[in-house]
Amino acid sequence: MATIASATDSTTGTPLDLATLARQYRGDVFDQPIQLGATHRLAARLVLVRVPPDVAAARRRALRAKAKKKGYTPSRDKLALCDWNVYVTNVPADVLDVDEVLALARARWQIECLFRHWKSDGHLASSRS
């Protein structure tokens, strides 16, 4: 569950396990080239950014509450990933640094919210023609 489907480290070729990486990595930012795909390899980049402890704690509380409501116990892997924001991009590091990846992710989220607003309140999905 915590792996990116068919993602491998592009330098060593070993499969990546996000949960293990999240538990073992001690820095605040992880930025590494990866390969995506089982048969056709796509060059990509994995960027992990550690969130503040209060954000991680809130995520764990929400995850545990959801798990309790649905009748299961959250896995150790899912709890470990609560500490991180995970981004996968095909834009190389020499074109976008980590701060720019984060800025684009925030802008994309605002665009998603705008489209959701247009669709629900503006009735963008329905047309008279």
How far apart are the C-alpha atoms of 23 and 17, rounded to whole Å?
A: 10
% of the chain residues with pLDDT over 90: 59
Instruction: Give phi and psi for 126, each to the nearest 5.
Output: -110, 145
Average pLDDT over residues 58-84: 96
Closest CA to 72 of 1, 18, 127: 1
Return the pLDDT at 39. Answer: 80
Return the pLDDT at 2. Answer: 46
Return the pLDDT at 11. Answer: 67
Q: What is the pLDDT of residues 30-49, one digit of tens each?
A: 999 998 887 888 899 999 99
- Please give the model's pTM, rounded to 2 decimal places: 0.78
Q: What is the pLDDT of residues 72-91, one digit of tens each?
A: 999 999 999 999 999 999 99
What is the DSSP code string of 27-90?
Answer: SSEEEEEEEE-SSS-EEEEEEEEEPPHHHHHHHHHHHHHHHHHHT----HHHHHHTTEEEEEES
